[in-house]
Amino acid sequence: MLVRRTDPIGSSEITPEAHYLNRREFLAAAGLLGAGLTGVALPASASAAGRAQEPKALGKPYGLQSDDKPTPYKDVTSYNNFYEFGTGKDEPIENARGFVPRPWTVQVDGLVAKPASYQLEDFLKPSAVEDRIYRHRCVEAWSMVIPWRGIALADVIKRAQPTAAAKFVEFTTLMDPKRMPGQRSNVLQWPYVEGLRLDEALNPLAMLATGVYGRDLPNQNGAPLRLVVPWKYGFKGIKSIVRIRFVDKMPNSAWNLAAPQEYGFYSNVNPDVDHPRWSQAKERRIGEFSRRPTLMFNGYAEQVASMYAGMDLRKNY
Amino acid sequence: MSDSLNAMRRRSVLEPQWFVPALFVVALLPAVIGVAGTASDLLADTRFFGSNPIKAVEHYFGQWTLRFILATLCITPTRQLLGWNWLAKQRRTLGLFAFGYLMLHWLAYALLDVQLDWHDLTIDLAKRPYIMIGMAALLLMVPLAVTSTKGMIRRLGGQRWNRLHQLIYVISVLGVIHFFMAVKKDIGQPALFAAGLAVLFAFRVQRWRARRAA
């Protein structure tokens, strides 16, 4: 590699962030290309190494409409709600820069036959890694299409062998205000917790994600392990998970604790049930000018609606 | 202490020549940035206002509206503390800029966000308390903008004009409440505006008490 010496750098010459980010993507792609030349199996995304700007979306599409296009990597990884790293959408990418999500332990306990504490690598190893493209609908009425990489949540649950008493699954985010500066403010009760009914957690759509666009999850997206439940509002997708506990009572969830009348336990995407302060009938897809209609269960009714048969979705919002 | 304050007062009897041009530049800059940045984001796929530019610029103009409303409320205390009486003339300018930013805020909402979908606009207005409050503040500000000319002041008479323009106190409170209700849980920003407003109100209450005691 040729390295050219340069004169001392004036402040006017410091690379603007956008270029620097592109450069990082370029280096990542160059790394993949390098791996390819040395005979290491080359993922499909590396064929884009020449362009290097936008990683290629990987995966099998689930529930996508004909006009659903994957949201650019740049937007997926810079427009984030992750209050552990600040409440602004642009804050997590900045404040999570130095976060190191390794080593990482995941504790599986509660009403299970096989409680255990795993190193992340051991936790993931037995499961098949899949790439799936899902729609993502935030409770704030914006949406994305995201190519996730991860494992089926059902797989993890089956391994843990929940007892007959287990009815719900509770997830907990890392609690570490030193590494997660947002936890020093009391904007939410920390640690962030979330929950699913056991049958929801066993639904084949429910996923534990470890990556986006075929790459490891960026810190601001919930590294190293996050929940993805595409028929629910985005905040149900708890990030940086350290604990999965099986319980017999409906668990708390962070947003339900913060504002129970606004954020229910189920939080299924539903265009007919408004948030008390705004309508959920439409959404703005990131990158699009006009709003589009929001679909029942975010377009996954076929796979999930039967779980809620007979329930009053206005009450169980 | 009071000597230096008096010296400052003597020196500042006259409006500095650069003041009005500087005020216009500073006051117009956020509008130019807001409009140009949004146009670039929407038309050229840039990210000046991030990934969701329509929402971002809506909030951006809303916050500038509140900043200018607070700026108009700073004029009287500044005059009284520093004796800069020439500032009085600029209160109207600041108030009209506040109204201009309010219009941009409303346009970002109605034109870019809801895209003049009248059904959605009316539903919002009928069902969303924070929209009602914001719209009330907007409607209350219209008569203030309309009566800002010299001719209107003359026609109304100083006292009646003054009383009408005290509506700005109501408008400012409505504006901050609107902001509180629009955020999800991150009340830092609205709290900052509320604190600023509290200081400006406290100053007036204190003057009013002093005057009554005298």
Nearest of A233, A220, A66 to residue A141 by alpha carbon: A233
Separation in Å, CA of A284 to nearest CA in chain B: 9
Q: Is A279 in CB contact (< 8 Å) with chain B?
A: yes
- Residue-wise pLDDT for A232-245, tens only, equals 999 999 999 999 99
Omega of the bond prior to A16 within 30 degrees of 0, cis? no
| Interface A-B: count of C-beta contacts within 8 A | 51
Q: Do B128 and A278 touch (CB under 8 A)?
A: yes
pLDDT in tens, A13-41: 444 444 444 433 444 444 444 443 333 33
Contact B127, B68 (CB under 8 A): no
B55 and chain A in contact, CB less than 8 A: yes
Contact assignment for B50 to A279 by CB distance below 8 Å: no
Whether A177 and chain B come into contact, CB under 8 Å, resolves to no
Chain B positions touching A137 (Cβ under 8 A) are none
Give the three-state DSSP class for A42. coil
Q: Which domains does chain A have, with CATH numbers?
A: 15-56 (no CATH), 57-308 (3.90.420.10)
The least confident of B1-5, B14-18, B42-46, B144-148 is B1-5
Among B48, B185, B192, the strongest candidate for a mutation testing the A interface, having the largest count of A CBs within 10 A, is B185
Taking only the tens place, the pLDDT of each residue in A281-297 is 999 999 999 999 999 99
Residue ranges making up the domain that contains B68: 2-213
pLDDT attached to residue B37: 97
Q: Are strands A116-119 and A105-110 parallel, antiparallel or unpaired?
A: antiparallel
Count of domains forming chain B: 1
Q: Is A272 on the interface with B (CB under 8 A)?
A: no
B54 to chain A: which residues are within 8 Å by CB? 284, 289
B123/A259 Cβ within 8 A? no
Buried b (16+ CB within 10 A) or exposed e, B36-54: ebbeebeeeeebbbbbbbb
Identify which of B63, B186, B179, B195 has the alpha carbon closest to the alpha carbon of residue A182.
B186
- Tell me which chain B residue has its CA closest to the CA of residue A279: B124
How far is A49 from chain B, CA to nearest CA, in Å? 22
Q: Closest partner residue to A87 among B51, B182, B186, by Cβ?
A: B186
Cα gap A72→B50, rounded to integer Å: 13
> What pLDDT score was predicted for residue A58?
92
The mean per-residue pLDDT over the stretch B79-83 comes to 89
The CB-side HSE value for A281 (13 A sphere, CA atoms) comes to 7
As a whole number of angstroms, the distance between CA A144 and CA A136 comes to 5
CA distance linking residue A132 with residue A154, whole number of Å: 15
Q: What is the ipTM of this complex?
A: 0.87
Q: pLDDT grade, residue B2 (50/70/90)? A: low
Q: Which of residues 33-62 of A touch B (CB under 8 A)?
A: none
Structure tokens at A218: 């960026």
A87/B123 touch (CB, cutoff 8 Å), yes or no: no
Omega before A191 cis (within 30°)? yes
pLDDT of amino acid B213? 86
Per residue of chain A (317 residues), give pLDDT as tens: 444 444 444 444 444 444 444 433 444 444 444 443 333 333 444 444 434 578 998 999 999 999 999 999 999 999 999 999 999 999 999 999 999 999 999 999 999 999 999 999 999 999 999 999 999 999 999 999 999 999 999 999 999 999 999 999 999 999 999 999 999 999 999 999 999 999 999 999 999 999 999 999 999 999 999 999 999 999 999 999 999 999 999 999 999 999 999 999 999 999 999 999 899 999 999 999 999 999 999 999 999 999 999 999 999 99
pLDDT score, position A106:
98
Task: State pLDDT tens for residues B172-204.
Answer: 999 999 999 998 788 999 999 999 999 999 999
> Which residues on A lie below 8 Å from B179 (Cβ)?
none
A74, A78, A277: residue with CB nearest B181: A277
Q: Does B211 touch chain A (CB under 8 A)?
A: no
Q: Could you tell me if B184 lies within 8 Å of chain A, comparing CB atoms?
A: yes
In chain A the first and final C-alpha atoms are separated, in Å, by 58
For residue B208, give how far its alpha carbon lies from the nearest alpha carbon of chain A (Å): 37
B51 to chain A, closest Cα gap in Å: 6
B52 touches chain A (CB under 8 A): yes
Distance CA B97, CA A139 (A): 34
Residues 114-173 of B with CB under 8 A from A: 115, 120, 123-124, 127-130
Three-class secondary structure of residue A208 per DSSP: strand
- Is any Cβ of chain B less than 8 angstroms from the Cβ of A188? yes
